[in-house]
Amino acid sequence: MADKKKQIPLRISEKLYNSLASWAEDDFRSINGQIEYLLTECVKQRKKNGKYVSDEIDVPPEFDIE
């Protein structure tokens, strides 16, 4: 039996949305599919080593997505 999917409201900035949309297109996914993929990868990483973000999380990115 397939897992039922939960629906959640999500508000993100327009710049982040556009970045995700472009990335999703590159990966031949829908935006929802891309977000689910990225969240799944983060959860896998956290289960693997207890971390879900880089050790350099406080280092400002070189690009603006907010």
So where are the chain's domains? Answer: 14-49
- Name the pLDDT band for 65 (thresholds 50, 70, 90): low
Q: 5-21 as b/e, with b when 16 or more CB fall inside 10 Å?
A: eeeeeeeeeeeeeeebe
With pLDDT > 90 as the criterion, what percentage of the chain qualifies? 48
pTM for the model stands at 0.68
For residues 24 and 22, give the distance between their C-alpha atoms in angstroms, rounded to a whole number.
Answer: 5
Nearest to 39, CA basis, from 6, 2, 14, 66: 6
Report whether pLDDT(26) > 90: yes
